[in-house]
Every structure is written in structure tokens, then in C-alpha cells.
Amino acid sequence: MIKKLLNQFYSEVPKARSEIYAVGDKTPLEHLPLQQDVSLYIKREDLGPINAYKWRGGYNAVLNHHRNGGSDIIVAASAGNHAQGVALAARKLGLKAKIFMPLAAPIMKQKAVQHHGSDNIELILTGDTYNEAGDAAKAYVAQTGYTYIHPFDDVYTMAGQAIIADEIIDESDTPFDYAFLQIGGGGMAGAVAAWLKKHWPDIKIIGVEGVDQASMGESVKAGAPITLESVDTFCDGTAVTRPGDLTFKVCQASINEFMTVTNEEVSAVIQQLWEAKRVIPEPSGAMGLAGFNKYYTAHTDEMKGKRVLTILCGANMDFSKLALIAGKSAIGNDKRRYYRLKLPEGEGSLLHILEAHFQNMNVAEFMYGKTDEQQAWQTIAIDGSDSEFQALESSLTQASVEFSDITMDADIRYKVINYNPALFHNPLFFNVQFPERKGALRDFLRLISPVASICYFNYAYSGEVVGRALMGFEFTSTDKKQEFLTLIEKSPMTCKEIDEETSKRILLH
């Protein structure tokens, strides 16, 4: 059965090669100098006509199904990139397309579908997930008899995606030893893996999935396609609960090993690609390289001197997602940890702990709100290396400072700061700005600690030369409050008291 399927697939790839360049050009294969002892390359599918690889399979499937007697109206369901490919194909071939996307599809991808399809497409938003949009599209096809273009489980779609591998083979003087391929429904991973294996039988193919998206890996373990109850959608382009029937068979036969990566590891790669190439892929586009990073760490000796292939399969992402990615990237690189410290409440306690244990550490965030008259629970995020984290923890332990690592906890993920304004004494809230350099914040705390205590603190490093924090201060007397106001006027810090209405909201008045 698999031999017959592969032979059909192999026969379609050369046909696809002769057709798809009507709508797009070859994409470059670039060297990526991230590891000195590995020859690492990345296929830049983000430079294709829709900034993702899906134009290849979308166009090939629309063309062939229409030639084979399909309707002049085509239907597709997609979380975004397949929809763009089908929209482009419909416009180029003079067809009409009904494209179903989930209501939560990124706005950028919705706009791109309209752009590529112009007046040839109708965008239909329905359902909360790709599965629900797909079910609606299939029901619509059953009613109308129009032609359905599957995003991955179709031999024509897969043949189009295989041209990625065809270009790599054509450009490479010697075979690659490894390929790390991201997997959603399995159309690209299966097609690329099968075509690479046909020409380079000894290449090792690693399939890379999100930790909470691993439908293909679990299906291969089970020996048949299975359906996950739900999937994480951070990497929205690979958020598929069930692999295709065809793609399952091809991936099962062509992929040597499956692995998973976390959203934080993917975010770290997005930062890595920005720093190395000034490229910002969408999360699914970075998954293959995230897989390589993780595999390399665990198999460094095995990987030395090898030629390694990854694919940047797309760069269609809403701009608003960058803030979330930036926060996750430091954790994914294991360069940021969040510590919750139990300290005595009162003037100077935070300054004392900073000077005693964090003197040479790079503080990325402070999160604190007063919830008790005697004890304070400060959350401090630190950027550093594993050895620096170990040294800090040892220092805190020796000083009998209670602490816990809460890096992956839900309240950190959602930036929850608990506080009880009923405990604040004569409070004042300020927008505080300070030079973004080591020691600047400690200098400020040292200045005000004799007269004020902090009852609220919300600071996060933003990459600017100026640090910005919302800080609440409390005072034991009105004289102390007045002394504080005099001190900050002379301080190099910029302290602007927040307006009365905002203060009322913070204090729950």
C-alpha cells in the first residue's frame, strides 16, 4: 500500500516542478553560522510569493483538480497559509474560491488571503479552530459539489510541497546528513522527507512537533492516525489535532525519529534568527531549527562535522505576537529565571537583598504588591547563565532567604501581581524612569529607602535605553512623604505622579 502511494507521489513531483513556477520562484538555501562544528543550512520559504511554502502545494492541487474535471469554484479551509496559497492559485487560474478560516485566524493572514485572492475569493470566518472551519468547508462542498482543496492530505498538495526538497537536492553538491522538519498535518514534512530519502537514502529525518501538538508522533507510536482532544495554538500553522491518512503513511515510512519542542524553545529560535539574519519567522516556521538546537544539545558529538538542513517554512505573523515571543525567548534559551523571594516587609528590604545577592546580576523584571504587614513576596526575573543561577541560589540559601523558582508558573505567564491596597499607608504612585544600566535602580532605592517603602512595583526590561516602572510608595508619616517628594526632585530619576483617576483605580476607590 505504501509503495503504491509513494510511486504515485514520485510520479507527480516532476509534473509539479514543471507547473508551480508559474506563480513563484525558487527560494534560497542559506548557510546559518550558529554552530562552528556543524554545517547548518536553512531553506528560506519565507521569501516565497506568500511568505510561506504553502503556495507550492496549493497551486499544484488547484491546477490538477481543476484539470481533472473539478468545478470552477474551489473550496479550502486553513488557519492561514494554505488559504493564501489557494487564493493566489484561484486568481492566477481565473477561478473562484470560497475559503473557510477560523474566527481566531491571525488578522495578518486574513488580510493576506484577501490580498492574494483579490476579487476571486470569498473569505468565510467560522468556528473557533481549524477543525471546525474544515468541517464547515467539507459540509459546504457536500451541499454544492464544488472542489475541495485539502491543505495537506492530498497527493497533489504533497507533490507541490516536495519541490522544496527538489530545489535543495538540485542546489546541493553533497547530501545532507540530517533534516529537521516541522510537522502539522504532515504534508510538507512527509513530502520533503520522502523526496529527500528517494535521492539521499542515508539522510536521517527528524520530525519536529510542538509539545502539545504531537499528533503525528503519537499516531506513529499507535500505528494509525489518532486525534488529540486539543492542541496548543501558539504555533498556529502546525496546530492540527489529527494527521492526514496519506501524510501519516508517508511520514511513518520516511521519518526516522520524532521529537517535540516547547513554545519557549521556538521563541528562542525566533530571536536567534533575528540576530543572525534579521529575519522574523512565525512560530511554526521556526520549529525545525528549534528541533535542531535541542537535538544538538543532547547529541553534540554525534552532530560534529555533519551537514544539517532546516526549513524556515513561513513568516506570516501578527505584529502583536512579538511581545509574547520576546518574553518566552529568554526562558527558551534558559537565560531567564523568575524567583519568588520571601522578605521582611519594611523600608530598605528590597535594596538590602539586591545589594547582598544581585549586585552583578542583570535584573529583567520586578513584580511586587504588598499583601501582608510583616512579610513581602518579591518576584525578580534574572537574565544569566546556568552557573550564575546556581551561584545566586547558593548565595540565597546560605543567607537563609526563602525563595522558589516560579519561571513556568501560570501567574508569571500572565503577569499577575497581587496586592491589597487596604494595607497601603499614605500611598503615592509614580511613573519612574531611570537609565537602563546596572546599578541605576539600586541608586534610586538607596536614595529613598530612609523615608519610603515600596508597596507596589511593576518593571520589565523593554530594550530601551530608559527603564520604565510603575511604583507605589508608602510612608509612616506626612513628614516622610514630604521628604520623599523633595528627594525625588533632586534625583536624576524622572518621577511623574500618576493622575488622580488612575490612582483611584489602582487603590480600588
In this chain, the answer to whether the domains covering 55-153 and 335-506 adopt an identical fold is: no
Residue 107's pLDDT band (cuts 50, 70, 90):
confident
Architecture of domain 2-52+157-330: 3-Layer(aba) Sandwich (3.40)
The pLDDT tens digits for 15-26 are 999 999 999 999
Q: Is the pTM of this model over 0.85?
A: no
3-state SS, 327-391, equals HHHHHHCCCEEEEEEEEECCCCHHHHHHHHHCCCCEEEEEEEECCCCCEEEEEEEEECCHHHHHH
Residues with Cβ within 8 Å of residue 187, at least 6 apart in sequence: 57, 151, 152, 153, 154, 157, 158, 161, 244, 247
Residue 346 pLDDT > 80: no
Tell me what pLDDT residue 141 has.
95
At 347, the pLDDT band (50, 70, 90 cuts) reads low
pLDDT tens digits along 497-506: 999 999 999 9
Residue 275 burial (C-beta neighbours within 10 Å; 0-12, 13-18, 19+): exposed
Task: Name the CA dihedral angle for 224, 229, 235, 239, rounded to a multiple of 10 degrees.
Answer: 50
Q: Could you give the CA distance from residue 252 to residue 200 in angstroms, rounded to a whole number?
A: 17
Model confidence at 79: pLDDT above 70: yes
- CATH level 3 topology of 335-506: Biosynthetic Threonine Deaminase; domain 3 (3.40.1020)
- Euclidean distance between CA atoms 392 and 290, whole angstroms: 28
pLDDT (0 to 100) of residue 138? 95
**pLDDT at residue number 483:** 92
Q: DSSP string of 430-444? A: EEEEEESSTTHHHHH
Least confident residue range of 44-53, 339-348, 476-485? 339-348
For 155-174, how does the pLDDT look when each residue is reduced to its tens digit (9 = 90+)? 999 999 999 999 999 999 99
At residue 328 the predicted structure's pLDDT band, cuts being 50, 70 and 90, is confident
Other beta carbons within 10 angstroms of residue 509's beta carbon come to: 9
In the predicted model, is pLDDT for residue 125 greater than 70? yes
Rama region for 20: left / alpha / beta (φ>0; ψ in -120 to 50; rest):
alpha
Q: What is the pLDDT of residues 235-264, one digit of tens each?
A: 988 999 999 999 999 999 999 999 999 999
Domain spans in the chain, listed from the N-terminal domain onward: 2-52+157-330, 55-153, 335-506
Instruction: Give the number of other CB atoms < 10 A from CB of residue 109.
Output: 25
DSSP string, 203-225: PEEEEEEETT--HHHHHHHHTS-
* Topology annotation, domain 55-153: Rossmann fold (3.40.50)
All three cell numbers of 117, joined, read: 485572492
Whole-number percent of the chain with pLDDT over 70: 100
What is the model's pLDDT at position 438? 77
The whole-number pLDDT of residue 192 equals: 98
Q: Are strands 39-44 and 29-31 parallel, antiparallel or unpaired?
A: antiparallel
* Residues with Cβ within 8 Å of residue 16, at least 6 apart in sequence: 56, 60, 156, 159, 160, 162, 163
Confidence band, pLDDT 50/70/90 cuts, at residue 222: very high
Least confident range from 53-57, 109-113, 284-288: namely 109-113
